[in-house]
Structure 1
Amino acid sequence: MNDIEQEKSDIEKGKITAITSYILIVGILIALSMNAESKNKFASFHIKQALGLNLTFISIGLLISNFSNMQIYISFWVFFTVLWVFGILSAIKGENKAIPIVGNLYQKLFKSF
């Protein structure tokens, strides 16, 4: 089996785990346990992306909860919805595309996963 075939095989094996990781924090925990033995690179990439996205969502959400401005809330939700959709569509398509703006940072921060 050559490298391209191996990579396609890894993507197919890790696709369900990768998609699962984008289902809130619970999905990340499930995906981590699903990927614990196999250490699939594709799944690991998306677990890191989803973990970073969720932690950023919670952190910024806590920060903006101190404001009572509807424009801030709507912008926050639209921004994170777009990033989440980008991530999950990338996982569904079998692509290792980092989430725009912050995805490469997540890969560096969580490289031990």
Structure 2
Amino acid sequence: MENDIEKGKSTAIISYLTLIGAVIAIFMNQEENKTNFASFHIRQALGISISFLLLGYLVGYADSWYVTSAFYLFYFILWIYGFVGATQGQQKSIPILGDFFQKIFKNL
């Protein structure tokens, strides 16, 4: 398990660097280099990025500083939670949406 974490840690960290980082991490985590740790964090990061883009589009129509700032703060907290977990070698799902992301991206 420790070897799996150390082997996949850099891929897991890269996955949190925007949507492009998640796509790069998917390619880094191919068959011969695949680790469960990296796959877990790729699913989390990809889910955060996609939900940010989809929900951000809808929040943009709110035309309210309070709604927009609350959305960005919520997204940033989820991102920090996942990123810190990846750097510390932990596999904890992000609050609220983490288990859902693990289910819908289970093939990664």
Q: 1:102 aligns with which of 90, 97, 106?
A: 97
The Cα of 1:29 is off from its aligned counterpart by: 1.1
Report the equivalent of 2:25. 31
Counterpart CA distance in 2 for 1:86 and 1:107 is 16
Report the equivalent of 1:45. 40
Report the equivalent of 1:60. 55
State the number of aligned residues.
Answer: 107
Q: More helix per residue: 1 or 2?
A: 2
Tell me the secondary structure at the aligned position of residue 53 of structure 1: helix
User: Higher Cα Rg: structure 1 or 2?
Assistant: 1
Give % identity.
44
RMSD of aligned C-alpha atoms?
Answer: 0.6
The Cα of 1:78 is off from its aligned counterpart by: 0.4
TM-score (norm 2): 0.97
TM-score (norm 1): 0.93
Counterpart CA distance in 2 for 1:88 and 1:10 is 17
Which digits, 9 at most, give the CA deviation of each residue in 1:46-77, with x for residues without a partner? 00000111111011101111121000010001
The Cα of 1:25 is off from its aligned counterpart by: 0.8
Structure 2 alignment gaps of length 5 or more = none
Report the equivalent of 1:14. 8
The Cα of 1:108 is off from its aligned counterpart by: 0.6
